[in-house]
Structures are given as C-alpha cells and as structure tokens.
C-alpha cells in the first residue's frame, strides 16, 4: 500500500479510502466486517462514513456497524484513520441538522457513542450551511478539538469560495481550519478542476473524491451491461446517452491491458492534490482488485487520449475567460 499526507497535515493515510456507505443497507454486517478486516490486511487505513449512512433517520446504522467492528479486538480502532460527517438530518426537531454550534456538538457526541470511540480523526462538514457564520462553526469545532473528540476538520461538497471563506476565518482564530475536501470527481464530472482543486492546492487541503467511477459508468459498464445496478432504467439511459464515449474509454483501457475501474482511479492519483479516492467495494474480490490501481502508470499518449475522450477544465478564470 502507498501512503500520503492528508493535505498539509502530518497525518498519513492510504492512497485508497474505504467507503462504507453500503454497510447496512446493501452489505450485511458480517460481510461489512470481512471487508474492513481485508482492508486492514491490504494496508488501507483510511475509512470514510457519515452519521446519516444507513438512511434511517437518526439511527446512524453504518456508524453502529463500525463501532461494533472495533469490538472484534486486534487493535482495529488504533489502525484506522476514521472520517465521519455532520450536517444531515438526524431528527424531527429544528436543530437536528446542519451546522449550528448546537447541532455540531450534539451530532459529534452521538457519532462517538455509535462508533464506540472517544475521538474522530477527521470530522467533515457534509455540506456548506450558508446561514451558519464561520465564527459559530469554528467556535464549535475548536471546542471539540480542545476536548480531544476531534483531531482534524474537513469539508465535503464545498465550492472553492467556501473553502477560502472557511480557512480565512480559521486563520483569524489561529485555528488549523479545513485540511481536506471531499467532492464528487471523476472523468465524467471534472467540474472541480475549475476552482475547488485550485483552492485546495492553495490552502493545503487534500482532495478525497467520491463517486470516482461515475456511479459505475467508468468501471467497464459495457462489458456487463445487463448485470446488477447496470440493468436499472436510469443506468441504461445513461449508458445509451454516453455509449460512444464509453466505447472509446473501454477500448483505450483494453489497449492498455487494464480494467477500466483501475485506470479511472489511477488517473486521479496522478494529481498530487488528490489524497485518496473513495472506493465502495461490495465484495472482497473487488477490494483486492482495487490495489492494481496503485501500479498503473500513464504515457503522455495515454493521458492525451483520456483528455480527448473526457475533456476537462482549465483553472478559472481562464477556463471561461481570456
């Protein structure tokens, strides 16, 4: 396994991040345990979850599964850099969601109980809350850090200017501020190249891409077009709309002698601001296969053809101005 620093921090995390969103709704608890155990065996030490995962309001089902997994012993908790999130609606009253100081404090305590741990390595704001002043947000986060409940703070789904606002406000308080941003990013959705990635680079945030395979479209979808979720009406419509692009993509991967999913992940890791794409394996075999990603290298011709198939963006404002 390869490791890198999380943004400008000294914290070392694996170049692949284990996503746990399927734990509970789609992956049974015993299978979730097996996947997490295998991840550790493979050297993956970076796990991502959220208090809303499990999709039963207020229950935090996925966090509970992870919490019970620590109890299997073997120093599991100490081996993992654990990331979870705050923002989503965890109840039916006015202050059970978003980023008020009240909700941040309460949500953190509830996550700690479910996760059966006394600290969260990376506490991520799942979305920006435009009504919450940064003074309020940072006051709440600083208290959690002082109490030892949170070590680092990250964001998710922020715009570039939100990252600037947040870290300038943190700087005025002599607080470390955001150290990572979790954004949707893949070859079919390269929007963050305009402003989010440059902002992260300038402020020393590591980027943690979610949906790195574009919901499965970049994982060799044409080879197994009628299997699993690929058979859904929504997916079939997407495949039909992007068929020529996907044919070119899968053809290039075949020429390279690599699986499309591995190439899609490896392409991201060429960028030094990318810390670790989030992978969500449903089986042990898928998890083991992901490690091939770390061995793939690209020629200039490979990169050129990928950019022809999936055109990206230049840094703003040049992308839309002179």
Residues in contact with 294: Cβ distance below 8 Å, sequence separation at least 6, in sequence order: 1, 2, 15, 16, 266, 269
Q: For residue 224, what pLDDT band results from cuts at 50, 70 and 90?
A: confident
How many percent of the chain have pLDDT more than 70?
Answer: 98
Residue pair 294/15 in contact (Cβ under 8 Å)? The answer is yes
Please say if the pLDDT value at position 233 is more than 90: no
Q: Which of 56-70, 163-177, 224-238, 274-288 has the lowest mean pLDDT?
A: 224-238
Please say if the pLDDT value at position 193 is more than 70: yes
Q: What pLDDT, on the 0 to 100 scale, is given for residue 283?
A: 87
Please say if the pLDDT value at position 194 is more than 80: yes
Q: What's the average model confidence in pLDDT over 14-20? A: 98
Residues identified as active-site: 53
Q: What pLDDT, on the 0 to 100 scale, is given for residue 235?
A: 85
Q: Which of 33-47, 226-240, 276-290 has the lowest mean pLDDT?
A: 226-240
Domain boundaries, the chain: 3-215+261-299
How many percent of the chain have pLDDT more than 90?
Answer: 92
Q: For residue 202, what pLDDT band results from cuts at 50, 70 and 90?
A: very high
Question: Which residues make beta-bridge pairs with 27?
Answer: 23
Tens-place pLDDT, residues 172-190? 999 999 999 999 999 999 9
Per-residue tokens: 72: 């299997």
Q: For residue 244, what pLDDT band results from cuts at 50, 70 and 90?
A: very high
Please say if the pLDDT value at position 225 is more than 70: no
Q: For residue 214, what pLDDT band results from cuts at 50, 70 and 90?
A: very high
Please say if the pLDDT value at position 30 is more than 60: yes
Query: Would you list the DSSP string of 100-152?
Result: -HHHHHHHHHHHHHHHT-S-EEEEEESS--TTS-HHHHHHHHHHHHHTTSEEE
Higher pLDDT, 97 or 231: 97
Report the mean per-residue pLDDT for the chain: 95
- Rounded to whole angstroms, how far apart are CA atoms 94 and 106? 13
- Rounded to whole angstroms, how far apart are CA atoms 231 and 144? 45
Q: What is the pTM of this model?
A: 0.95
Residues in contact with 242: Cβ distance below 8 Å, sequence separation at least 6, in sequence order: 188, 217
- Rounded to whole angstroms, how far apart are CA atoms 2 and 279? 15
Q: For residue 230, what pLDDT band results from cuts at 50, 70 and 90?
A: low
Tens-place pLDDT, residues 245-288? 999 999 999 999 999 999 999 999 999 999 999 999 988 998 99
Q: What pLDDT, on the 0 to 100 scale, is given for residue 234?
A: 81
- Rounded to whole angstroms, how far apart are CA atoms 152 and 17? 16
In this structure, what are the phi and psi dihedrals at residue 62, rounded to the nearest 5 degrees? -65, -40
- Rounded to whole angstroms, how far apart are CA atoms 278 and 131? 29
Query: Would you list the DSSP string of 32-77?
Result: HHHHHHHHHHTT--EEE--TTTTSSTTT-HHHHHHHHHHTT-TTHH
**CATH number belonging to the domain at 3-215+261-299, selected among 3.20.20.100, 3.50.50.60, 3.40.47.10, 3.30.465.10:** 3.20.20.100
Residues in contact with 144: Cβ distance below 8 Å, sequence separation at least 6, in sequence order: 104, 105, 108, 123, 150
Tens-place pLDDT, residues 106-160? 999 999 999 999 999 999 999 999 999 999 999 999 999 999 999 999 999 999 9
């Amino acid at each position: 396994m390869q490791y890198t620093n999380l943004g400008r921090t000294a914290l070392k995390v694996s170049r692949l991040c284990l996503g746990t969103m399927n734990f509970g709704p789609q992956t049974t608890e015993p299978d979730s345990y097996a996947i997490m155990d295998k991840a550790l065996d493979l050297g993956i030490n970076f796990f991502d979850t959220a208090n809303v995962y499990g999709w039963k309001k207020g229950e935090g089902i996925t966090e509970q599964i992870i919490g019970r997994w620590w109890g299997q012993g073997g120093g599991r908790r100490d081996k993992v850099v654990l990331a979870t999130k705050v923002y989503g609606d965890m109840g039916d009253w006015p202050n059970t969601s978003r980023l008020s100081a009240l909700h941040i404090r309460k949500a953190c305590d509830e996550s700690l109980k479910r996760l059966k741990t006394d600290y969260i390595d990376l506490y991520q704001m799942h979305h920006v809350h435009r009504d919450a002043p940064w003074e309020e947000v940072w006051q709440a986060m600083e208290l959690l850090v002082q109490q030892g409940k949170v070590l680092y703070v990250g964001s998710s789904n922020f715009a570039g200017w939100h990252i600037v606002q947040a870290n300038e406000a943190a700087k005025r308080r002599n607080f470390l501020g955001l150290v990572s941003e979790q954004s949707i990013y893949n070859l079919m959705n390269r929007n963050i190249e305009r402003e989010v990635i440059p902002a992260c680079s300038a402020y020393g945030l590591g980027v943690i891409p979610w949906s790195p395979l574009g919901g499965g479209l970049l994982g060799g979808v044409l080879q197994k077009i009628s299997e699993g979720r690929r058979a859904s009406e929504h997916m079939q419509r997407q495949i039909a709309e992007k068929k020529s692009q996907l044919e070119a993509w899968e053809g290039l991967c075949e020429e390279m002698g690599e699986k499309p999913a591995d190439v899609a992940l490896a392409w991201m890791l060429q960028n030094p601001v990318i810390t670790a794409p989030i992978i969500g394996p449903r089986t042990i075999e898928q998890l083991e296969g992901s490690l091939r990603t770390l061995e793939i290298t690209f020629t200039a011709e490979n990169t050129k053809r990928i950019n022809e198939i999936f055109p990206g963006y230049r840094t703003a404002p040049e992308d839309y101005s002179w």
